[in-house]
Structure 1
Amino acid sequence: MYKALVCLLALALSPALNAASLTIPLEFEFLAVNGEPIGTSMFKHKDNLNLVPGENRVALRYKDLVRETLGDGHSRVNSNPFVITFTIGAEEKYHLAAASAIRDLDQARRFADNPQVVLTDGKGNPMEFAMALTQGEDPGLLERMTGSDGPDLEEQAIAATATGGALAAAADTQSASAEPFKADSKPSEAATAPVTADPANPEAMLKYWWQQADEPTRKAFMSWAVQQL
């Protein structure tokens, strides 16, 4: 009986163990896969995503906290959400990364303005994929509060993973040999997706007050938070 139970358990777990997956580095964030939004948390980074054989559409965002050139402060740098579309086989491990190294704040801002990524298989071979970046700016906090905000870029990207709509249709095919972002491109300002204050949601409140705080206040809070761990 014991051996039978072990065998059944192994069979039940084997699909999950052998499923195809996509891994991303810390500075990227999953938003959705094939129409299914992916819940995120400021306390835990999700770096691995199970995929199904065949075509997959994944929405992501570049989101990094980069040290400033002068002083000890850090700046949050976000890209617009983007969608990659690619076809895979079963039981394969895929990896996504920035096409060029990001070593300082200026490079981070240039990358956020024009994200260029590479996708490789488990052997490090480049894969072809289509990528589309949402256009425009996310509505600010005031626009959200007054109800006069424009289209939500994150919602657009999530919807595109389900339908393969306008974003996927306008996508460019890329591979690991894609040309890296240009050093002379115009830097974009650090953009942080605003969060509405919700007293019933502690995580949302933390995000909200973090966005309202200036750099010295953020630094003091981070020092306090580390001491609480």
Structure 2
Amino acid sequence: MSNAYPPQDLLRFVYRLTAEDYTCAEFLVEIHKPTMTLVPAAEAPYPYWTELSYHQCQNCPLHAAETPHCPVAVNLAPLLELCGHLVSHKPMSVEVITDRRTIHCKTTAQHIASSILGLIMATSPCPHTEYLKPMARFHLPLADQDETIYRVTATFLLAQYFRRQDGLPYSLELDELLKIYRNLQVVNQHLTQRLKAGISEDAAVNGVILLDLLSKTVSWSIEDGLEEISYLFDSYRKPLQPPPET
């Protein structure tokens, strides 16, 4: 529970949803900042679709004897209470409130669900999503395709810098990043099957589908040499100007 941690150790995101025919609702995401791990909001007993063996990912290294429930699915259970009955294309307004700023946006239920889903997945103790923790620390709500590609590749390359600093093997090639995102696509596919069992409408499921599409887009962009954003770095292709003499 969040009261187990001092306030300075918590990173808080409040998603406040409104619509013309929808009572204002809030969804709080609290993250333990030192570990970038989600503070669980779900309480036992957990829904059957959270059991590890239920549509378990083909690439899952966990075992039901030690981990009876999928850590991502358990953390998503409270989200389904909020948007599991929303139609994906429903127009909505959302405020995302953080300690530093508030973001306002008019969008659809599925885009809001996708944004929350991504944050929860990134901070859940799943071996395949832990690589997303740096992005969660600097969460950009409702990020679009180009923003996601930039953040993903920048995060990976900064990780290589820190690996070099620590004397670990490192590489500027993006093959390892491709492997990470191909594993995430498997997680997304199986998570979709889980959520279908727990909802009456499709906003949450389509939120996962949007996340999966972004994962595929990242993979395609890497394979194409990041050509979509390459032009932004033209200034770095020029010789650096020496600083003025003092």
TM class by smaller structure: under 0.3
Structure with greater proportional helix content: 2
